Amino acid sequence: MITDGEADDQKIVTRIVSGQKELFRVLVHRHEQAVYGMGLSFFRNAEDAADFTQEVFLKAYHSLFKFEGRARFSTWLYKIAYNTAVNRINRRKEYCSLAEEEFAPDGLTPEYTLLRTAAKDAVAEAVKELPDKYRICIDLFFFYDRSYQEIEAITGYPVNTIKSHVFRAKKLLRGKLADYSEGS
């Protein structure tokens, strides 16, 4: 039996494809929170995010034989997740950034909590106003800690386009948040 720390994802995939199908649960355990988080950012409710997560892992399981190991498994998986989400969103037209999610701070003063909530709300509102292509790149870059090359593999956007989207999004956010801080 393999534990989470004993082998990297590529070795686990090789073993699964070779017949040790029960090891897929290790990959699910390692990556389900990130996939679920992506689902929440796209669909904004737990039930749809859970359905999305199941669908992504089902697609990944059935496509494991296609995984070539040229990129990290997580990048390959996030590409499946991204494409699944985009296909659903194209039908529903509603993408929400992870910047809009609630993160409850523990043990902080009421003043700090209030200021943090106000700042988070301002950022969330500013991010909502960004074009989807900018929001997706910002989310993958900042919230999922993906490199430009990984974002390229996930979204299909060229690296220079991704850099441009992140740069423009940050510039727009800076402008929107400057207006907010002057108005507060």
| Local mean pLDDT, 10-residue blocks, the chain (184 residues) | 56 90 92 90 85 93 88 89 84 54 55 72 79 86 84 90 92 80 54
CB 140 within 8 Å of CB 146: yes
The closest of 109, 151, 142 to 123, measured between CA atoms, is 142
Whole-number pLDDT of residue 32: 93
Query: What are the residue ranges spanned by the domains of the chain?
Result: 1-96, 99-184
| C-alpha pair distances (Å), 145 with each of 69, 99, 138, 150, 184 | 20, 14, 10, 10, 31
The CATH number corresponding to 1-96 among 3.40.50.720, 3.30.43.10, 1.20.1080.10, 1.10.1740.10 equals 1.10.1740.10
User: Does the structural domain 99-184 have CATH classification 1.10.10.10?
Assistant: yes
Q: What's residue 157's pLDDT?
A: 92
Predicted model pTM: 0.57
Q: In terms of Cα–Cα distance, which of 32, 64, 65, 67 is closest to 51?
A: 32
Closest C-alpha to 172, from 133, 117, 115: 133
